[in-house]
Amino acid sequence: MTMLENVKRTVRRYQTWPLSTGEKQPAIDISHQVLLYVEGLSVSFDGFKALNDLNLYINDGELRCLIGANGAGKTTLMDVITGKTHPDSGAVYFGQTIDLLGKTEAQIAQLGIGRKFQKPTVFEEQTVFANLELAMKANKGIVSTLLARLSPSELDWISEVLDTIGLKSHYQMLAGALSHGQKQWLEIGMLLIADPRLMLVDEPVAGMTAQETERTAELLTSLAGERTVVVVEHDMEFVRSIAKTVTVLHQGSVLAEGSMSDVQSDPAVIEVYLGEEQ
């Protein structure tokens, strides 16, 4: 595969709405404060129910943590929300009116839903700045613009994102030379370039040092409010440090939901999940 094909394939993951052409994301009806509705969702793989009648409601501006043992269905849920996997039954709405199940992955991204996968996928041979630039140009959807110059407002926006992710002083560094934690922040930055309304972040602190984990907690906390952030994580210390509401998944369903102390003292949760961790 040529370098260009590789870039094309990967940047598609960051393809969202065309920021630079001045198009706006569509209005999302959040008159009931709920940004994301997931109702009665079931997904089977060869008869195995990865999601089983799952219900989840995420409020606008919320920072929600999803926890659950390996195989509980957390990543599958993100796959359905982002259009990668089609469910057997159920409903997923963005705001009151937008049915996500009828949409393609690209359309869902264009609505302002960004997703960070478990493994960082930055372009190692490119600088930090170039990675953000590629993410921005991918928004335009045409790789022929890769060589086009950035407008002043695009440069400002990249600079703001660099500030947010704490990599301003590293902008000329090759992404491959960053620490694992910094690569994860860069990838979060590549999502932020598209200015998403909802961010789905899968296991952001896996493999990070304690200090990097702490900074990631600050970063995600600072993003919520203006945006809505759903974080999947196994690191309970991290979840405790950021979570207002925690949803515990077990065998594809919601086992418990509430504050960290509520779910931690829930006997069912202790038995199936937290009990194993502590």
Using CB distances below 5 to 8 A depending on partner kind, what does residue 50 bind out of Mg ion, ligand ATP, none?
ligand ATP
Q: In the window 28-57, what residues touch ligand ATP (CB under 6 A)?
A: 45, 50
Q: Output the six-digit token pair for 151.
A: 């407008």
Which of residues 78 and 161 has its CB atom nearest to Mg ion in the complex? 78
Using CB distances below 5 to 8 A depending on partner kind, what does residue 15 bind out of Mg ion, ligand ATP, none?
none
Q: Least distance (Å) from ligand ATP to the CB of residue 251?
A: 9
- In the three-class reduction of DSSP (H, G, I as helix; E, B as strand; rest coil), residue 277 is classed as helix
> What is the Cα–Cα distance from 275 to 278, expressed in whole angstroms?
6
Q: In the window 65-104, what residues touch ligand ATP (CB under 6 A)?
A: 68, 70-76
Return the HEC string of 142-191: CHHHHHCCCCHHHHHHHHHHHHHCCCHHHCCCEHHHCCHHHHHHHHHHHH
Q: How far is CA 175 from CA 97, 165, 185, in A?
A: 40, 14, 11
Using CB distances below 5 to 8 A depending on partner kind, what does residue 70 bind out of ligand ATP, Mg ion, none?
ligand ATP
Which of residues 75 and 184 has its CB atom nearest to Mg ion in the complex? 75
Q: In the window 166-195, what residues touch ligand ATP (CB under 6 A)?
A: none
Considering the rule CB under 5 A, would residue 228 count as an interface residue with Mg ion? no
User: Strand locations in 62-166, DSSP E?
Assistant: 63-67, 89-94, 98-99, 113-116
Which of residues 12 and 234 has its CB atom nearest to ligand ATP in the complex? 234
Q: Least distance (Å) from Mg ion to the CB of residue 68?
A: 9
Which of residues 31 and 70 has its CB atom nearest to ligand ATP in the complex? 70
> What is the Cα–Cα distance from 242 to 206, expressed in whole angstroms?
15
> What is the Cα–Cα distance from 183 to 124, expressed in whole angstroms?
9
Using CB distances below 5 to 8 A depending on partner kind, what does residue 215 bind out of Mg ion, ligand ATP, none?
none
**Does an H or E element contain 230, and which?**
strand 228-232
> What residue type is 82 in one-letter code?
T
Considering the rule CB under 5 A, would residue 75 count as an interface residue with Mg ion? yes
Contact residues for Mg ion (CB under 5 A)? 74-75
Give the footprint of ligand ATP on this chain (CB under 6 A): 45, 50, 68, 70-76
